[in-house]
Amino acid sequence: MMRYDPFRDIEELQRRMDQTFRELANTPQRWAPPVDIYESPNGLELQVDLPGVASSDIQVEAENNTLSVQAERKEPAMDGMTAHRNERIYGKFVRSFSVPNKYDLNKIEASFANGVLTLKVPRSEAAMKRQIAVQQAS
């Protein structure tokens, strides 16, 4: 016996309405993956969720004070299959982040594992805290 879930009907109605409005507007659905940004004394770390994206479909660019991530999640071929629910979004996206001058965009490290793109942006040497020796005046 299956339990009745009234929210399931509401979610299905919302999904159908969203799909209808998209079709009426004839605009492609846009997506922007969630991003977590952390700061430490050494720099910034950005973690971008990119499940279903191949590493070859990811581009990271830095220019001036802007860090941009571009990627494409390609829709899988569904030969001979009928879709009953399509909630995942496919296509290209671009996300840009303004990065303060205290970080060095020339030394970014990027890695991709388990569907998460990790970008490490070190603090610039000029912005690093350092001890200044005080000289005894004679």
Is residue 118 situated within a structural domain? Answer: yes
Q: How many domains does the chain have?
A: 1
pLDDT at position 131 is 83
Is residue 120 situated within a structural domain? Answer: yes
Is residue 92 situated within a structural domain? Answer: yes
CATH number of the domain enclosing 40 = 2.60.40.790
Is residue 9 situated within a structural domain? Answer: no
pLDDT band for position 18 (cuts 50, 70, 90): confident
Q: What is the DSSP pairing of strand 43-49 with strand 116-122?
A: antiparallel
Give the model confidence (pLDDT) of 20-40 as tens digits.
776 666 555 567 899 999 999
Is residue 111 situated within a structural domain? Answer: yes
Is the pLDDT higher at 43 or at 4?
43
Give the model confidence (pLDDT) of 86-138 as tens digits.
788 888 999 999 999 999 999 999 999 999 999 999 998 776 677 888 888 87
Is residue 112 situated within a structural domain? Answer: yes
Residues with Cβ < 8 Å from 67, sequence gap 6 or more?
Answer: 46, 60, 61, 96, 97, 99, 105, 108, 119, 121
Residues with Cβ < 8 Å from 31, sequence gap 6 or more?
Answer: 73, 89, 90, 91, 93
Q: Distance between CA atoms of 134 and 10, rounded to whole angstroms? A: 70
Is residue 25 situated within a structural domain? Answer: no
Range of the domain at 71: 31-76+88-125
Is residue 45 situated within a structural domain? Answer: yes
Q: Say what the pTM is.
A: 0.70
| Cα 100 → chain centroid | 19
Give the model confidence (pLDDT) of 44-84 as tens digits.
999 999 999 999 999 999 999 999 999 999 888 888 888 77
